[in-house]
Structure formats: C-alpha cells, structure tokens
Amino acid sequence: MGLWNGFEKIVRQDEPLAMHTWFQLGGPAEYFAEPANPDELIALVRRCHEEGVPMRVLGRGSNILVRDEGVPGMVIRLSAPAFCGIEVHKDMMAAGGGAKLGRIVTTAVHEGLAGLEALVAIPGTLGGALHGNAGTHGSDIGQWTTRVAVVTRTGEVLERPREDLEFAYRESSLDEPVILNAQLELERDDPRELTRRLQKQWIVRKASQPMGHQCAGCVFKNPRGVSAGDLIERAGLKGTRIGGAVVSDRHANFIIAEPEASSQDVLRLIDLVRSQVHERLGIELELELEIW
Ligand code: EPU
C-alpha cells in the first residue's frame, strides 16, 4: 500500500476511537495518526488532500460521539509535546492546539492572569475549545483570543489575527481542520484572588454537573439563552433511558452512558429528547455535541 509511504511509523489502521472519547463508545477510525511535530502534521495533511482521504482532528474527545460504525478516513490527534506547549509572556499566553484547556486555565491563574477562571472544569483541548468557542454563562475562550494559527485542508499554515476571527455562542469562524496554536491576551490580577474565584467556580460546577461518569459535556446548545437542561427537566425527561443511555438526574443536558451502552442508544435518546421537548414545550433543541 503506497497511500501512507513515508508515514508507516505513525499511521495506524482501524484504531478503536472509544478509548479516545469521554463517552467511551463508537467504532474505529479507518486511519489514525499522532504526528510528532508540525512538519510531520503538515506533510500528513497534504498527503490526505492529494489522496482524497477525508481528515479530521480529534481533541480529548469530550464533546463528540463516535457512531458505532466508526469514522472513514484519517483521524489525527495532536498529543505530541510539540503541540501541547504553554508559554506566558507579560499579559500574553501562547499555547498549542493540543494543550489541555484545564492546564491553560490553571497556568493563567498561577501566573496572575485573569479571564479564564470561569472556564475551569471545561474538559478538552485548546483547539477544541476554540473550534466550538467553549464557555460558561457570560464568558468564553473567544473573547480573550488575539491570534490563531491554523492548517488548511491543503496543508497551508495561516495566521489569523483577531480582526479575522468571529466568535459567537458555541460557534467560531475557525472552520479549518487543524488549530495549531493560539495567543490569548489576559488581564493582570492577584493570583490569590484568582485562585479563590477558580475554587468557587469549581465547587459550583461540581455540584451541578455529573462528573466521574461516562458522558461528554452538554448535549444541546441553550436555545436563545434558556438552559436546555432546564427545558429537558420541565419536559419531565430526567432519568429517561434507552438501552444503556440515560438522561442525567443531576443535569438534564447530560447523557450518561452505562457500560453496556452503544452509540446507537445515545443517538436514539437524543432524538427522543429532541422530539419530546418540541412536542411538550414547542422548542427545537440544537446539538452542541458533535456526532462523528
Ligand atoms: N437547570 C435545571 N435542570 C437541569 C439543569 C439546569 O433546572 O437539569 C437550571 C439550573 O438550576 C439553573 C439553569 O438551569 O437555574 C442553568 O443551569 P447551569 O448553570 O447548569 O447552566 P447551563 O445553561 O445548563 C451552561 C453551559 C455549560 C456550562 C455551564 C456553566 C451550554 C449548553 N451549557 O449550562 O456548558 O458548563 O453553563 O455554568 O451552554 C457545555 O457546553 O458542554 C457545558 C456543559
């Protein structure tokens, strides 16, 4: 097979993706690779383009559900240290697309840089967070972002300055397949005060969301600022089950996958919740979770 000539050491075939996702569900990726550095990544993206192989980047798998039949084409993970660095210079932070958002938040607080505390306990990578503009009430990653380097489908590296970036509720204009790194501009504050805010946020989040379960983040977006969790609860759907998939009793916008669950169970439960909320409350829910 000449398809991956020169990439034999990094490309794996039929890699199970369940172990790379928070739901721990779903089938394999046809091809899977963890390049060691940007040059190798760019060469691989170019090869995928030349060969007409569809390609996508997997972050930490906390906002996706992989279908039971798996994913055709190439799945790339930016797990190598070259993609996960975090650097602070004055009020600026530069980090790789593969860096964990949680580490970015705690590094900022430790360095006395304010802005990101509200994002504590959001899982995933910086790349994933930017792609979907991760955030909480009134705060998101996009508002602090001043520059993003991306790799296009054809393998070209582009620097996108702030003027060229648009962020909205759980949405960004970053539609290139790879987010290589980004720069955030934060504000100075007292690290002790920031630590207190971080701890407070952490306690609130822990009390309101299921943690330590097999689940991803919120399944649906909040329609026009109304909490989807509140709507699902009002529709009487907490605890609703299909197979091994259950609507969380703690926060109704989370679906818990029990060990025997399949992706199909989760997908069927999503459809059920959507149709019941529409029927009972007249509101259309839109997915925040990505289905692969
Ligand atoms: N609520 C209910 N029942 C529920 C869930 C929530 O009545 O089952 C009520 C709560 O009591 C509260 C209101 O709804 O009065 C808002 O709840 P919460 O503070 O949990 O916020 P949310 O709007 O449900 C959003 C984000 C979360 C983020 C929290 C942080 C979305 C879809 N969700 O949730 O983000 O962590 O704010 O406050 O934007 C995610 O995006 O994956 C995610 C988890």
For residue 258, is pLDDT > 70?
Answer: yes
Q: Which ligand 1 atom minimizes the distance to the CA of 227?
A: 23
pLDDT at residue 212 in the model: 74
In terms of DSSP bridges, do strands 241-242 and 187-188 run parallel, antiparallel, or are they unpaired? unpaired
Environment class of residue 86 by beta-carbon count within 10 Å: exposed (0-12), middle (13-18) or buried (19+)? middle
Helices (H), 53-160: 101-110, 126-131
The average pLDDT across 221-232 equals 94
Residue 180's closest CA among 154, 205, 149, 138? Answer: 149
Q: For residue 139, count other CB atoms closer than 10 A to its CB.
A: 16
Residue of the CA atom closest to atom 2 of ligand 1: 230
Residue of the CA atom closest to atom 40 of ligand 1: 218
Q: Among 4-18, 86-100, 161-175, 208-222, where is mean pLDDT lowest?
A: 208-222
Q: Name the strand (E) or helix (H) holding 188.
A: strand 187-188
Tell me, what amino acid is at 42? I
pLDDT at residue 214 in the model: 85
The binding-site residues of ligand 1, defined as CB within 6 angstroms of any ligand atom, are 136-137, 208, 217-218, 221-222, 227-230, 233, 251-253, 288
For residue 64, is pLDDT > 80?
Answer: yes
pLDDT at residue 225 in the model: 82
Q: If you search the block for the tokens 């964990």, which residue do you land on?
A: 100
Q: What are the pLDDT digits (tens) for 105-139? A: 999 999 999 999 999 999 999 999 999 999 998 79
Q: If you search the block for the tokens 């001043």, which residue do you land on?
A: 146
pLDDT at residue 1 in the model: 56
pTM, two decimal places: 0.94
pLDDT at residue 278 in the model: 98
Task: Please tell me the distance between residue 134's alpha carbon and the centre of ligand 1 in angstroms.
Answer: 13
Distance, CA of 77 to CA of 84 (rounded, Å): 11
